[in-house]
Chain A
Amino acid sequence: MTAEIIVVTSGKGGVGKTTTSASLATGLAMAGKKVAVIDFDVGLRNLDLIMGCERRVVYDFVNVVHGESTLKQSLIRDKRYDNLYVLAASQTRDKEALNQEGVEKVLDGLSAEGFEYVVCDSPAGIEKGAHLAMYFADQAVVVVNPEVSSVRDSDRILGLLASKTRRAERGGEPVTQHLLLTRYNAHRVAIGEMLSVKDVEEILGISVIGVIPESANVLTASNNGIPVIVDAESQAGQAYSDTVARILGEERSLRFIDVPKKGFLQRVFGG
């Protein structure tokens, strides 16, 4: 059996790739899948912090690629879900630490271990790390903020997914592209200060698989080292749950994209 490989990418930094990788991987595990999430950001390890396993990293991705540790030794089992594993990035500054053959070997190893999904958390940019993260992908989640530079960069990434991946090179089925809009503020959209879901979909020419509202809970979750999807009370957590369900083929309508209806007094006096 072959694991389904999902890359979480964006081009621009700081849009929520690691938050998204952590929540999607955890959500897939919550749905009963055996999942590994890999941090491709060599030199700037962060997924371990968001997943709350930073003190349990012994061996990392680069160690496995270089044969310094086995895959089993390097996979960190999640505290909450025992079918979820983290493969941390190395803190080495050597950018050549990863290579295509090494990455392929790790992904094949995960398939052989019975993993059903591998989530690849891409570094920002379009350099080697980002290229390796997307190269073997079957599906891509392109994280975009409703903001000009993020939208432009994600269009660039969509172009790379269509040309610089194994699927593109082999000329078969292309990488399935999903757009995930994060840090969405329905109020600012309503008053014309922020690009809407429809605007972003029209500019990029693909529809969104989810919209994650801007939420204080995302910071709280990262402070605690708990992926925000675990917080079932939060809107961001619920929006990530919807997104995971859609990736698994379920149909769910978008939530939290409209400003809640106001009462009479609010309508008269604003606020």
Chain B
Amino acid sequence: MGILDFLRRKPEATATVARERLRIIVAQERSTRGAPDYLPMMRNELLEVIKKYVHVDIEDININVERGADHEILELSVTLSGGPEPKPGKAQTGGKSGKAGRTAKVS
């Protein structure tokens, strides 16, 4: 690298940012690949229901289908951030963010 290049050098390599963003999104999309088509719709409906009680965003809801030899596991996880709830008293919210995981088996 020459002196002139050094002087006009930028602080961050954007290719690194691109690589990290792609790693995450590709991994996420691969995990839902081949999953049933109803998952995105179910996610939206669940969001509506959960929103009645707790303040969550769509990104806070993760749905995964894992396939075993003779069964499938539908995994739903909702990340609760400490925002105010629309209807207090109904659902548990903490000051800190926590993860409420529930696993339901679907045959």
Chain A min CB distance to B82 (Å): 32
* CB-based nearest A residue for B14: A193
Report chain A residues within 8 Å CB of B71: none
Interface size class of B (residues with CB under 8 A): 20 to 34
CB interface residues, B 10-26, toward A, < 8 Å: 12-16, 18-19, 21-23, 25-26
Question: Would you call B100 an interface residue if the criterion is a C-beta within 8 Å of the partner chain's C-beta atoms?
Answer: no
Q: Is the CB of A193 within 8 A of B15?
A: yes
**CB-contact partner of A152 in B3, B12, B26, B33, under 8 A:** B26
* CB-based nearest A residue for B13: A192
Q: Is the CB of A193 within 8 A of B2?
A: no
Question: Would you call B34 an interface residue if the criterion is a C-beta within 8 Å of the partner chain's C-beta atoms?
Answer: yes
Q: Which of A35-43, A129-137, A155-163 binds B? A: A155-163
Q: Is the CB of B26 within 8 A of A271?
A: no
Binary interface encoding of chain B residues 1-44 relative to chain A, with 1 for a CB under 8 A from any of its CBs, else 0 = 11111100000111110110111011001100110000000000
Report chain A residues within 8 Å CB of B1: 267, 270
Q: Which residues of B contact A (CB under 8 A)?
A: 1-6, 12-16, 18-19, 21-23, 25-26, 29-30, 33-34
* CB-based nearest B residue for A189: B15
Tally of A interface residues using CB under 8 Å:
25
Secondary structure of the A side of the interface? helix
Report chain B residues within 8 Å CB of A159: 30, 33-34
Report chain B residues within 8 Å CB of A203: 19, 22-23, 26
A52–B30 alpha-carbon span in the complex (Å): 40
A266–B2 alpha-carbon span in the complex (Å): 7
A267–B4 alpha-carbon span in the complex (Å): 10
Question: Would you call A148 an interface residue if the criterion is a C-beta within 8 Å of the partner chain's C-beta atoms?
Answer: yes
Q: Is the CB of A269 within 8 A of B3?
A: yes
CB-CB under 8 A for A192 and B4, given A155-B29, A159-B30? no
Chain B min CB distance to A157 (Å): 12
Q: Is the CB of A199 within 8 A of B2?
A: no
Q: Is the CB of B4 within 8 A of A271?
A: yes
Q: Is the CB of B5 within 8 A of A270?
A: yes
